[in-house]
Amino acid sequence: MLEVPRNIVKPSRYAGNEPNAVRNRRDKTDVRFALCYPDIYDIGMSYYGFFLLYEIANRLDGVWCERCFAPWQDMEEHLRRSGQPLFTLESRTPLSQMDLVGFSLSYELNITNVLNMLSLSGIPIRADRREGRHPIIICGGPLTLNPKPFDTFFDLVVIGEGEEVLENILQRYRALKGLPRDHIIQELAGLEGVYAPLTGPDKAVKRLYIEDLDGSYHALRPPIPVVGSVHNRLNIEISRGCGNGCRFCMAGYGYRPYRERSVGRLTDIIDRALDITGYEELSFLSLSAGDYSSLGELIEYVKRAHPTTSISLPSLKIGSISEEEIRMLGEGARGGFTFAVEAASHDLRKRLNKDIDVETLLRQLPLLRACGWRNLKLYLMVGFPWETEEDLRSVRQITDPCLKAGIEVNLSVSPFTPKPHTPFERLGVEDEAVLRSKIDVIKKSLPNKRVKVKIRDIETSLVEALIARGDHRLHPLFEHLHEKGVRLEAWSEKFSIAPYREWFHKNDLGFGEFLSARSENTSLPWKFIDTGIDHTFLRMEMERAERGELTIDCHRGCAACGLACRAAPDVCQGSVSGPANLSAATRGGPSGDGYETYTLRYAKFGDARYIGHLDAMSLLVRALKAAGMRLKMHGRYHPKPRMALSPALPVGIESTCELLEVEAEPIQDPHDMLRRITRSLPGGMRALELRPISMRGMNLTFQYILVGGEFRPEGADLWRNNRDKRAFYLWSGANVKELWVTGSFERIIKVDNRRIDGIRTRNQRDVQRNEDRIS
Ligand code: SF4
């Protein structure tokens, strides 16, 4: 059981007891692999790619993959103070005892967290300081398209999409285990898309990508967060890559070509994953969901087969979603629409090859309003070399019609960073003062308060650009930052540019060394990465930008980027095969009659005692749905079940008598249903009793068992004394939280009085079993 001090915020982050977490493979395991996300749990648990690799690794014979996230500052201080190393969530094994440790890198400001996590595990941060006893440290993810600024901290770097190569790495390691560490690293560095920074690369490293996305594995059973994560919903990856060719976009170039999953495959994935997880919201993952060739068909299927499930589309190209699709999404859509406008004026957008149809959006505004949408999110960038004041002011051409249609606008403005592997890779970052003045022009041109403008912090953007465009000269910068205790920089309250400026000043360097424009004669640090895209093509695209010319996108033709891809322009066009395979969890939906009120009594014990009240509520609803309970949904726009819960149980206190009341279609076999609900709950949460009555009808009274401790509160009766080793008291009162924070008791367990009084009912045999487990 996880034991942490009571001042730790959200201790569930460290418990590893999520539904679908793979916790018991120790006996069958030859290879122990820690998959790490270098930010805190709440962020890392939102990433589809992270879960995809987790599932793929755990499907392999002899491999056990566990998760590890950066601890929040309070937990780090606790680990350092108590001399404990950072551990994996599932088995609480120190990272230093793993065979392989892999970091998924998707954000520049997370590199400092990698170093902190390594040092917290007792693993030297530099690859050249590691010895035979240390695990092999690997990195992959979008950031490795320019790995030079940080590659010295890794034994192996993976470039591109990681699912196939991860399988190869783990299987090869299993075959080689026992051989000298250096030998294994060299063997693994021989795999395509992989290199070992200590000895190479001695030739270009090819970026990996999956050619047959439709045939590739899709995650079905992601561990469900026990602490509200940033995006807590079921991610369905409908397509990968982007064919639009926006000249500033590293994702667009770094994930080419555009590939789709067929509708038939996706409907099967959706049915199975909803059954397993019970999620009430789907997010269709794509770099541009509106480009998916069968979006209408897919939305229509979800609305028909899972009528109570809402859909969100993370990012849309303006004009890419049809009126029919908006209507279908209509009331079931979540989160509104987010459009990446990028540049305010049409002329500037042509230079960026951002060919969007603003007129279509403006025509669709009344429909969006009629479908219940009251606001739009728009993304804009500033700092392009051709930008004029007139361009910046023309943002009103989009915001004014929105306001006139009764739709508010949230405008997010970020500085432009010229990214590696794009046609703009040799441009410079705009000067800080100029960026500020350009942002001022935008702000002043939008006096209406119904346009909320959010500006990306410029200093943060400059540091991101520095790392994105950096090279090996930044290795000592990261060591300096690590020594200064820099970490968790993605959190604005933790970020400061001061330690960066300090290092640059000490080394007589300026940010300009990395941020300024680079001539055609300068060698680029990311040149050794072979993305498959022709350098001549990038140069020609830059020239077209200078002339303000558009290039055809991969959906309508081929611009001959050099990839010679097989997917485009004839992308996968699957369709739903046979009758809709309705899932047990969500079939039916709110018919309006035939529902009954049920009350579930459940237990929270062990590590689950750290799960907060609201998180427990979401987990319970998902478990009920995954178990096949058909809940009555309420609400027109975002349908939700109506629930009542017993008063919030303070975090840290265990209980066998928490209650949840819901309305659901009649249940034939409550005992079987209890078993299925428990199977879908986190470790330490258990469904104990399900009765067709309201919560008030349960008529529970309860007391607390106080375990151990010398302090005996007023009114507490000694209940049991375990041969003088441990005292158990029975106590009733309202201020249990105060008792808990005094720290006088090892455990406090809320129990049903019926059990204490010795009254047994059929269901209370479950209580007995669970209380035995607890005590
Ligand atoms: S080869 Fe043609 S279709 Fe394929 S990614 Fe390049 S431009 Fe697009």
How big is the chain, counted in residues?
775
Ligand 1: atom nearest CA of 561 is: 6
Residue type, 41: Y
What pLDDT shows up at residue 322?
75
- Phi-psi map region of 429: left, alpha, beta (phi>0 left; psi -120 to 50 alpha): beta
In the numeric block, which tokens belong to residue 646?
Answer: 């017993």
What pLDDT shows up at residue 756?
59
Ligand 1: atom nearest CA of 557 is: 3
For 502, phi then psi, to 5°, come to -60, -45
575 — pLDDT class (breaks 50, 70, 90): very low
Around ligand 1, the residues with Cβ closer than 6 Å are: 243, 256-257, 554, 558-561, 563-565, 568-569
Strands 156-158 and 194-195: antiparallel
- Nearest Cα to 106, choosing from 178, 38, 171? 38
CA–centroid distance, residue 297 to ligand 1 (Å): 26
Mutate to test the pocket of ligand 1, among 239, 247, 256 (most ligand atoms within 8 A of CB): 256
Give the whole-angstrom CA distance, residue 520 versus residue 468. 19
How does pLDDT run across 646-655, given as a tens digit for each residue? Answer: 888 888 899 9
Ligand 1: atom nearest CA of 565 is: 4
For 182, phi then psi, to 5°, come to -60, -40
Ligand 1: atom nearest CA of 256 is: 5
CA–centroid distance, residue 567 to ligand 1 (Å): 8
Q: Which of 299-308, 320-329, 375-384 has the lowest mean pLDDT?
A: 320-329
Spatial neighbors of 730 by CB under 8 A, at least 6 apart, are 703, 704, 705, 706, 716, 717, 719, 756
Mutate to test the pocket of ligand 1, among 565, 566, 572 (most ligand atoms within 8 A of CB): 565
Quote the strand ranges of 460-557, DSSP E: 529-530
Ligand 1: atom nearest CA of 243 is: 8
CA–centroid distance, residue 338 to ligand 1 (Å): 26
Residue pair 289/333 in contact (Cβ under 8 Å)? The answer is no
Q: Is the pLDDT of residue 193 over 90?
A: yes
- Residue 601 has what DSSP assignment? E
DSSP labels for 75-129? HHHHHHHHTPPPB-TTT--BGGGSSEEEEE---GGGHHHHHHHHHHTT--SSGGG
Residue type, 120: L
CA–centroid distance, residue 714 to ligand 1 (Å): 76
Residue 112, CA distances (Å) to 76, 338, 615 in order: 14, 30, 29
Give the whole-angstrom CA distance, residue 310 versus residue 315. 16
What pLDDT shows up at residue 636?
57
How does pLDDT run across 467-491, given as a tens digit for each residue? Answer: 999 999 999 999 999 999 999 999 9
- Nearest protein CA to atom 8 of ligand 1, as residue: 554
- The residue among 613 and 124 whose pLDDT is bigger is 124
Ligand 1: atom nearest CA of 558 is: 2
CA–centroid distance, residue 622 to ligand 1 (Å): 41
Give the whole-angstrom CA distance, residue 256 versus residue 553. 12
Residue pair 17/682 in contact (Cβ under 8 Å)? The answer is yes
CA–centroid distance, residue 256 to ligand 1 (Å): 8
CA–centroid distance, residue 251 to ligand 1 (Å): 14
How does pLDDT run across 686-733, given as a tens digit for each residue? Answer: 999 898 888 877 777 888 888 876 677 778 887 777 666 677 888 888
Q: Nearest 10 degrees: CA dihedral of 280, 213, 247, 557?
A: -120
Ligand 1: atom nearest CA of 241 is: 5
What pLDDT shows up at residue 222?
93
CA–centroid distance, residue 573 to ligand 1 (Å): 18
Give the whole-angstrom CA distance, residue 505 versus residue 166. 41
How does pLDDT run across 8-33, given as a tens digit for each residue? Answer: 999 999 999 999 999 877 778 999 99
CA–centroid distance, residue 260 to ligand 1 (Å): 14
What pLDDT shows up at residue 333?
52
- Nearest protein CA to atom 5 of ligand 1, as residue: 257
Ligand 1: atom nearest CA of 559 is: 7
Mutate to test the pocket of ligand 1, among 242, 253, 287, 563 (most ligand atoms within 8 A of CB): 563
Q: Which residue has the tokens 């300090």?
A: 502
Ligand 1: atom nearest CA of 533 is: 6
Residue 450, CA distances (Å) to 407, 409, 437, 441, 447 in order: 9, 7, 22, 17, 9
Map 622-667 to HEC letters: HHHHHCCCCECEECCCCCEECEEECCCCCCCCEEEEEEEEEEECCC
CA–centroid distance, residue 421 to ligand 1 (Å): 15
Ligand 1: atom nearest CA of 553 is: 8
Residue pair 343/394 in contact (Cβ under 8 Å)? The answer is no
Residue pair 227/13 in contact (Cβ under 8 Å)? The answer is yes
Q: Is the pLDDT of residue 569 over 70?
A: no
Give the whole-angstrom CA distance, residue 725 versus residue 735. 26
CA–centroid distance, residue 565 to ligand 1 (Å): 6
Residue pair 40/91 in contact (Cβ under 8 Å)? The answer is no
Spatial neighbors of 734 by CB under 8 A, at least 6 apart, are none
Give percent helix, percent strand, percent coil of the chain, each to the nearest 5.
35, 20, 45
Mutate to test the pocket of ligand 1, among 534, 538, 554 (most ligand atoms within 8 A of CB): 554
CA–centroid distance, residue 323 to ligand 1 (Å): 28
Ligand 1: atom nearest CA of 258 is: 5
CA–centroid distance, residue 566 to ligand 1 (Å): 9
For 31, phi then psi, to 5°, come to -120, 125
- Domains detected in the chain: 11-203 (3.40.50.280), 234-469+525-547 (3.80.30.20), 596-774 (3.30.70.580)
CA–centroid distance, residue 520 to ligand 1 (Å): 24
Ligand 1: atom nearest CA of 564 is: 1
- Nearest Cα to 457, choosing from 412, 517, 394, 400? 412
Other residues' Cβ atoms within 10 Å of the Cβ of residue 366: 12
97 — pLDDT class (breaks 50, 70, 90): very high
How does pLDDT run across 307-328, given as a tens digit for each residue? Answer: 888 888 877 776 677 777 777 7
Give the whole-angstrom CA distance, residue 84 versus residue 82. 6
CA–centroid distance, residue 435 to ligand 1 (Å): 34
- Nearest Cα to 402, choosing from 375, 380, 371, 381? 375
Highest-pLDDT range among 172-176, 232-236, 622-626, 672-676: 172-176
- Nearest protein CA to atom 1 of ligand 1, as residue: 564
Q: Is 570 exposed, middle or buried (0-12, 13-18, 19+ CB in 10 A)?
A: exposed
CA–centroid distance, residue 184 to ligand 1 (Å): 37
Mutate to test the pocket of ligand 1, among 260, 540, 558 (most ligand atoms within 8 A of CB): 558
Ligand 1: atom nearest CA of 563 is: 1
Provide the mean pLDDT of the chain.
87
Give the whole-angstrom CA distance, residue 310 versus residue 363. 25
How does pLDDT run across 486-510, given as a tens digit for each residue? Answer: 999 999 999 999 999 999 999 999 9
- Nearest protein CA to atom 4 of ligand 1, as residue: 565
What pLDDT shows up at residue 579?
31
Q: Which of 2-6, 533-537, 597-601 has the lowest mean pLDDT?
A: 2-6
How does pLDDT run across 265-294, given as a tens digit for each residue? Answer: 999 999 999 999 989 889 999 998 888 888
